[in-house]
Amino acid sequence: MTRNNFWLAALGVALLSACGPTQVVVTAEIAPNDPSQGAELRALGDLEIRMFPYDRDLIFDSLTAVALTPEPAIPDSVLDAQNQVATAQQAWRDAETRWNVLRETLQTLSDELDGLSRQQGQYRVLYNEFQDLEDEYADVERQRDTAFEEFTTLQAASLAASQEIRLLREQWADEWYIDVDMVMTAHQRASGLEVLYDTTDASGIAQFDAKAGDYWVTARYELPYTELYWNVLITVVGGEPEQLRLTRDNATSRPKL
């Protein structure tokens, strides 16, 4: 092969590489919201991630702006009720945890007492400790049961209120977002790109082969009373793989009805 032919071949390979898809690696991981659980990141496996060549949020915002009736807002009372449920649930779990600790401690003391003679001084010490803990055990058990009853009562009321506003919002969306699929299809055709899908593996990693262009990486992760929502813009260019991390820092926390 002549020198000129060699450089032409090399140039052709470079051009093909630049026009080909670029690997996009998305990692999804979050730290616990409760500082007491430590700051270690937890990989979000089995999380559906999509890459849109247009901004879906902007399309929904545009349709919302031209709607003849406003989207039903989530009342503060519904959000307050969810917060009350979360607080009551934590109180019940704390009481349950303490109750389990006391039960195990009482069982340990009981086993130790069975191995001692009542005439031994150590027996009297352990017996007094057992009686004190037994009284606390009964008190904590009552607190646990009361907390659980309060939690279930608040939860039932909160679910009913959430369902009511959710149905109103769904009915509104059915009326005013009726053209959303058509609008999104038009945006996709104009971009000349495809919508890409993948699901994270156990390590919280998803991978895509994307053509050059702008994409909005979207995902949702449900928490007990809220959801984390991502809609992150990335620009894919030919060459080295693109990397994106989805964390609490670049997510929006939204109420979950």
- The domain ranges of the chain are 21-53+192-255, 76-175
Coil, helix or strand for 197? strand
Residue 5 has pLDDT above 60, yes or no: no
Residue 13 has pLDDT above 50, yes or no: no
Coil, helix or strand for 19? helix
Domain 21-53+192-255 matching CATH 2.60.40.1120: the answer reads yes
What kind of fold does domain 76-175 have according to CATH? Helix Hairpins (1.10.287)
pLDDT digits (tens, 9 = 90+) for 80-136: 999 999 999 999 999 999 999 999 999 999 999 998 988 888 999 999 999 999 999
Burial tier of 174 (Cβ tally within 10 Å: 0-12, 13-18, 19+) = exposed
Total-model pTM: 0.80
Confirm whether 21-53+192-255 and 76-175 share one CATH topology. Answer: no
